[in-house]
A and B are shown apart, each in its own frame.
Chain A
């Protein structure tokens, strides 16, 4: 009987310890686990893509690796689509998503944002010779973008304001599909980010294409996202981002992926957190 009693006490103690460790926050969890599960959208070059050896690469992937290094853990990069970003956090499959997530107030009700880590411009890309000199020329063209992106939202809001309607707009499941649709001529122009367009223009398929006007009056400021309730984890991520700039890692990665130093105004706006 004594043995049972002892076993009971032991079981109780284990349960208590388990419930104590269940209160450990995400930061503890990552460190204990020894792996950082980092979500990146890998069809969005040069932020995230698969390199020649089919390995994840890009600016966001480098950030994942830097973060893992800072934490002293292994980096595990998970490939996400735009739409998978939040479900992956809610399901606990990722600890953080470094995936160019626009920091809207609407989204911040659902998910925790860090300080901004990058600023994009939204731009059009179309075949050479398409009459697209100002953003308003899109009225007469077939336009596409990737489903669930901020540029889709921005375009649709603009189109509604101007009374263009939705009939000439097509959404695509992914960034790659949007470019495929443009390439096949399903749409005349697509909207994407300046960085992605610049990368695509260097490829053979898009050598006859040109970058067009920007979406008016819009800077796409993006942050990392994590579980909203994980305040300590988010402040760790914030400090990480500050240090990326202060220690020069940001500039190094920018050089690797964009072929030049990071523009002073980009650095300044990130320093100002806006």
Chain B
């Protein structure tokens, strides 16, 4: 290949790239936390056949799982914009990612819930536990233990999908990379460094999740 690498251009812009990386980390972690909370409700709503909640949950899950993330981010920014609702680029990406994460995780959680034998629901009821107590102390801890690994997959996806924020002018890692590569035209260098940064972010998040889960599940995973 007939190409000379100029790395110093990239290193000069490292502070800005790291700032972009922080925004990426920030938006994906937040989207994951919110997504998990909503997904629990969606999964429960879909399992209990009580209209209209099961229909609402199904619709959410269907749309989130079967349309491209790119389209959803675009809808959150320019689609809502057509109705005069103006989200900032950050909010648009966050909303779209929460929507997607919740949709995907709901199905994962539903699988987790269904893997827990009915006998446990009945047993906790017979001990006089309320619905809330049953979920809080019996079902959810086991469910989260079982779906922990599929859940981290979704986490990685959320980080990588946040790169689509570039579409709506968000100053995350990809957007910053694009800006700097257009200043200097050192495309290959910037893209390679950014790929490494994404790798590091992903590994960092997975490691933190593993540490948290170790404490939370006390090694029973």
Contact = CB atoms under 8 A, between A and B. Distances in A.
Interface of A: 82-83, 86-87, 90, 104, 106-107, 109-111, 144, 147-149, 152-153, 170-173, 177, 180-181, 184-186, 227, 229
Interface in B180-196: 181-188
Given A170-B89, A185-B84, A90 B183 contact: no
A149 B181 CA distance: 11
A178 to B, nearest CB: 9
Contact of B2 (A170, A171, A172, A229): A229
A29 to B, nearest CB: 13
Contacts of B81: 180-181, 184-186
Contacts of B3: 90
Contacts of B179: 147-148, 152, 171
B86 A106 contact: no
Contact of B86 (A110, A173, A184): A184
Most A CB within 10 A of own CB, among B166, B167, B169: B169
A230 to B, nearest CB: 10
A111 B185 contact: yes
Given A83-B178, A107-B184, A173 B78 contact: no
Contacts of B182: 82-83, 147-149
State the majority secondary structure of interface residues on B: helix
10 contacts: A90-B187, A107-B183, A107-B184, A148-B183, A173-B167, A177-B78, A184-B82, A184-B84, A184-B86, A186-B81
Contacts of A227: 2
A235 B162 CA distance: 43
Interface residues of B, number: 25
A83 B179 CA distance: 8
Interface of B: 2-3, 6, 78, 81-82, 84, 86, 89, 166-169, 171, 175, 178-179, 181-188
Contact of A185 (B2, B86, B184): B86
A112 B182 CA distance: 15
A267 to B, nearest CB: 28
Contacts of A87: 187-188
Contacts of A170: 89, 169
Nearest to A84: B187
Given A90-B187, A148-B179, A185-B86, 13 more contacts: A86-B185, A87-B188, A107-B183, A109-B6, A109-B184, A171-B171, A171-B179, A177-B78, A177-B167, A177-B169, A181-B78, A184-B78, A184-B86
The 9 A-B residue pairs with the shortest CB-CB distance, nearest first, are: A148-B182, A110-B185, A184-B81, A171-B169, A86-B185, A107-B185, A86-B187, A87-B187, A173-B167
A103 to B, nearest CB: 11
B180 to A, nearest CB: 9
A126 B121 CA distance: 62
